[in-house]
Amino acid sequence: MSCATKRVECDVICEAEKRRQSYVQTNPQLPERIKTAILTGNVVIGMSKQDVAAVLGEPDASVDINAHWVAREQWVYESEDGSPKHYYFKFGKLNSWKHDGH
């Protein structure tokens, strides 16, 4: 691996850490379990869409899958191996996720 490749990897990791730390600092009202998950780069059930975006960044795609009685949305992220990762929100809160690994 070249130095340039290492630098890019570090920049991506450092930017993600900065994004997570900044989000937690600007949202002091977050419950401790949510703060801890965000700072460690994890998602947990019950996170808001903003919480998930703080951890993972903006999704590659989002799909409105509303039913008549439930506000639902699906976010899709492409993983490094090209398989999609799906995150499902119900009423603006993370309800479940699924990773389609190869």
The pLDDT profile of the chain, 102 residues, written as one tens digit per residue, is 444 445 555 677 789 999 999 999 999 999 999 999 999 999 999 999 999 999 999 999 998 877 777 788 999 999 888 899 999 999 999 999 998 865
Torsion-angle region of residue 53: left (phi > 0), alpha (psi -120 to 50) or beta?
alpha
* Predicted pLDDT at 13: 77
Cα 43 to Cα 15, 27, 91: the distances in Å are 17, 16, 17
The architecture that CATH gives domain 3-99 is 2-Layer Sandwich (3.30)
Cα separation, 33 vs 94, whole angstroms: 14
Q: pTM of the predicted model, to two decimals?
A: 0.82
- Angle (CA) 7-21-77 rounded to 5° is 65
Q: Which two tokens stand for residue 98?
A: 């699924």
